[in-house]
Amino acid sequence: MTSKAHVSLDVENLERSIEFYSVLFDTPPTKVRPKYAKFDLDEPSLNLTMNERAACCIQGLSHMGIRVDSIDQVLAAKSRLEAAGFKTSDEMGTTCCYAVQDKIWAKDPNGIRWEVYLVKSDAETATAPAANAEPCCAK
């Protein structure tokens, strides 16, 4: 696997969104779970996820990210960002969006959230945050 761009969208109607993106990409989603779908594409090289939200809570673009192959790449991104003065936060061993992941988060100067993450395994649950933590997929 190589690095791949990740875009997460909040959607009001998951079924209709799946239909649209299946037509757009000419392929069905690679994962569908309650209120969640993922298109993990080689061409274009993109990991697109969608989380169904109530109309009141849709923000459109939830966050963007870069999926990498190793924890070393996650930690290297953290080091680069912090050396440049950007704040990061860690979520290691978190279950998020139906996958167990090690990740870091940072915000660009406009407040757009970015994650750099390693998928360690698939999971049957969407999110299992640590005590007093905000769910990763809801940030």
Once rounded to an integer, what is the mean pLDDT over residues 61-68? 87
Per-residue pLDDT at 79 exceeds 70: yes
Once rounded to an integer, what is the mean pLDDT over residues 7-32? 91
For residues 39 and 30, give the distance between their C-alpha atoms in angstroms, rounded to a whole number: 5
For 8-21, b where at least 16 C-beta lie within 10 A, e where not — what string? Answer: bbbbeebeebbeeb
Domains assigned to the chain: 4-134 (3.10.180.10)
Once rounded to an integer, what is the mean pLDDT over residues 3-7? 91
Q: How confident is the model at residue 110 (pLDDT cuts 50, 70, 90)?
A: low
